[in-house]
């Protein structure tokens, strides 16, 4: 093997693409259902957008970005997430002036320089929604509902929602001190990482999984108990509305997300099927981000989900829904005459919107048919002297073996196929797929 893909980047081959397009379609359908509109920011941004937006002190900015200089020496970065880009676009194009309240969604590749493992590659794909311009608790709940609805539409049950509120910027400062005080007298018996975190950002201690630290963490006060009056009220309302909508959740006082811009509501949807990389999607409020990036004080809330992980989970469950587009018709050409006839017929049928293919390698009849079968063609039509002379052929259904006479005109064949389309569409996603 002479070349291989760059570490942490992988090919999505034709066999898998069906699952991807299906998930993408569902994301778009659900987003539209809730009136979120698609936005497509570029993949490369000025490095500063992320270091400002996501936070200098975060792991993402500190050590996980694909950053490089352009030809004029400006520092550019492959986006590690999309929220900062969406907010940048929101401000750059004056959306905040035209209509400050915007509901947007996106879909696409993100890049983080991490050690690759299952469910975590350096180029990965996220979908996400952002609702910018309102502090209303019902919007937090709507965003969470979008996530649940999407999972439902993919037939994914058995997921759980972890929920927390980390309060506003002022609350963060106070809570940090509360934690620092809590851990102060036992920090010496905790892991080295936590001793560092204790100084830098005690919030991160809550994320630690080291056995030595668990006791102290379990006894730590939750952020929920240290919210200011307004944040507490906001969170209570979020919870009330979630319950009202019958969306179950579990309060997790240890849930602190890795991006600095989060405020108030934070949440994660986790799956048991994913091992260490169990977060299927996560999000929350970012009420200070727009202002931090130079805009007017504007609240926002959103989430991002990992498509790669989602597809991994779908694949592990039985009957994963995958788009399965099968070729309508394969023409088997016999001899010179048959070949010429088949080429013309192919062109005519394609103009009629019928997907058709034929042999390009001069293979014998038997192999042509075997090939048609292996690529999952729905119908087969043999074109030899007999057919051309009589202007009649036999259309064979590959799955059942049933044959039907047809006139060899594009219109007649296209008609015979369109009669079957409905039946194909209703059974396509579960029926036998090609190459299995």
Partner RNA sequence: GGGAGCGUGGCGCAACUGGCUAGCGCACUGGGUUGUGGUCCCAGGGGUUGCGGGUUCGAGCCCCGUCGCUCCUCCCA
Interface with RNA by CB under 7 A: which residues?
1, 4, 7-8, 58-60, 64, 81, 112, 114-121, 124, 126, 193, 204, 207-210, 257-259, 268, 275-282, 304-306, 308-309, 334-335, 361, 363-367, 369-371, 373-374, 380, 382, 384-387, 394, 396, 398-401
Q: Which is nearer to RNA, 64 or 324 (CB)?
A: 64
The three-class DSSP label of residue 44 is: strand
CB burial of residue 371 (10 Å; 0-12, 13-18, 19+): middle
Min dist CB 5 to RNA, Å, is: 8
**Cβ pair 133, 297 in contact under 8 A:** no
- Backbone dihedral region for residue 73 (phi beyond 0: left; psi -120 to 50: alpha; all else: beta): left
Distance of CA 69 to the CA centre of its chain: 29
Residue from 430, 361, 435, 423 nearest 397 by CA: 423
Q: How far is the CB of 269 from RNA (least distance, A)?
A: 7
The CB-of-100 to RNA minimum distance in angstroms stands at 25
What six digits make up the tokens of 367?
């192999």
Least distance (Å) from RNA to the CB of residue 188? 19
Instruction: CB nearer to RNA: give 96 or 202.
Output: 202
Shorter beta-carbon distance to RNA: residue 100 or 222: 222
The sign of the torsion formed by the CA atoms of 221, 222, 228, 232 equals: negative
CB of 364 to RNA, least distance (A): 5
| Min dist. Cβ of residue 28 to RNA (A) | 18
The residue among 96 and 163 lying less far from RNA, judged by its C-beta, is 163
Cα separation values, 152 from 28, 33, 149, 156, Å: 14, 14, 5, 6
Rounded CA separation 39/32 (Å): 12
Complex with RNA: residue 381 or 414, whichever CB lies closer = 381
Structure tokens at 281: 């999607």
Judged by beta carbon, residue 96 or residue 380, the one nearer RNA is 380
In the bound state with RNA, the residue whose beta carbon lies nearer, of 350 and 363, is 363
Judged by CB, which is closer to RNA: 230, or 278?
Answer: 278
Least Å distance, CB 112 to RNA, is 5
Instruction: Determine the Cα angle at 101 with ends 95 and 102, to 5°.
Output: 70
Q: How far is CA 145 from the centre of its chain?
A: 16
Only one residue has tokens 């006139």, namely: 407
- Supply the minimum distance, in Å, between the C-beta of residue 219 and RNA: 18
Nearer to RNA, 120 or 176 (CB): 120
Angle, alpha carbons 93-96-100 (nearest 5°) = 140
The label of the residue with tokens 């990992």 reads 306
310, 23 contact by CB (below 8 A): yes
Residue 158 Ramachandran class (φ > 0 left, ψ -120 to 50 alpha, else beta): left
Of 14, 320, 274, the residue nearest 118 (C-alpha): 274
Cβ-contact 131, 99 below 8 angstroms? no
Between 96 and 143, CB nearer to RNA: 143
Query: Smallest distance from the beta carbon of 114 to RNA, in angstroms?
Result: 5
The Cα 332–Cα 357 span in angstroms is: 9
Task: Write phi, then psi, for 151 (nearest 5 degrees).
Answer: -60, -40
In the complex, least distance from residue 277 CB atom to RNA, rounded to whole angstroms: 5
- Separation CA 103–CA 37 (nearest Å): 6
SS3 281: strand
Shortest Cβ distance from residue 353 to RNA (Å)?
23
Looking at beta carbons only, is 119 or 202 nearer to RNA?
Answer: 119
- Asked if 198 and 183 count as a contact pair (C-beta separation under 8 A), the reply is yes
3-state class of 354 per DSSP? coil
């Amino acid at each position: 093997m002479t070349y291989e893909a760059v570490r942490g980047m992988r090919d999505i081959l034709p066999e898998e693409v069906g699952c991807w397009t299906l998930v993408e379609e569902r994301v778009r359908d659900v987003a539209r259902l809730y009136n979120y509109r698609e936005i497509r920011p570029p993949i490369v941004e000025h490095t500063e957008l992320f270091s400002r937006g996501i936070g200098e002190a975060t792991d993402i900015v500190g050590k996980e970005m694909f950053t490089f200089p352009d030809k004029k020496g400006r520092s550019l970065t492959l986006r590690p997430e999309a929220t900062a880009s969406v907010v940048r676009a929101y401000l750059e194009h004056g959306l905040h002036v035209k209509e400050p309240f915007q509901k947007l969604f996106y879909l696409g590749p993100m890049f983080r320089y991490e050690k690759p493992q299952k469910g975590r590659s350096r180029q990965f794909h996220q979908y996400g929604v952002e609702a910018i311009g309102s502090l209303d608790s019902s919007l937090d709940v709507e965003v969470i509902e979008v996530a649940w609805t999407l999972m439902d539409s993919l037939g994914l049950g058995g997921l759980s929602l972890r929920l927390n509120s980390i309060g506003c910027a002022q609350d963060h400062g106070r809570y940090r001190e509360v934690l620092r005080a809590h851990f102060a007298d036992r920090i010496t018996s905790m892991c080295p990482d936590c001793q560092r975190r204790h100084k830098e950002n005690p919030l991160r201690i809550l994320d630690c999984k080291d056995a030595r630290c668990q006791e102290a963490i379990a006894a730590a006060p939750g952020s929920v108990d240290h919210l200011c009056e307004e944040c507490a009220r906001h969170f209570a309302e979020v919870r009330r509305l979630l319950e009202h909508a019958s969306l179950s959740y579990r309060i997790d006082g240890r849930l602190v997300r890795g991006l600095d811009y989060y405020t108030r509501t934070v949440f994660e949807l986790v799956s048991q099927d994913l091992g260490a990389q169990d977060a299927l999607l996560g999000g929350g409020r970012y009420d200070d981000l727009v202002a931090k990036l130079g805009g007017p004080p504007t609240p926002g809330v959103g989430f991002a989900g990992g498509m790669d992980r989602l597809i991994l989970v779908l694949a592990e469950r039985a009957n994963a829904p995958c788009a399965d587009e099968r070729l309508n018709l394969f023409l088997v050409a016999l001899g010179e005459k048959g070949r010429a006839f088949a080429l013309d017929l192919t062109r005519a049928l394609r103009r009629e919107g019928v997907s058709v293919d034929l042999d390009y390698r001069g293979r014998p009849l038997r192999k042509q048919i075997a090939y048609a079968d292996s690529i999952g063609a729905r119908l087969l039509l043999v074109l030899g002297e007999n057919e051309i002379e009589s202007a009649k052929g036999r259309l064979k259904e590959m799955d059942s073996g049933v044959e039907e006479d047809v006139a060899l005109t594009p219109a007649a064949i296209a008609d015979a196929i369109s009669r079957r389309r409905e039946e194909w569409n209703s059974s396509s996603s579960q029926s036998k797929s090609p190459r299995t």
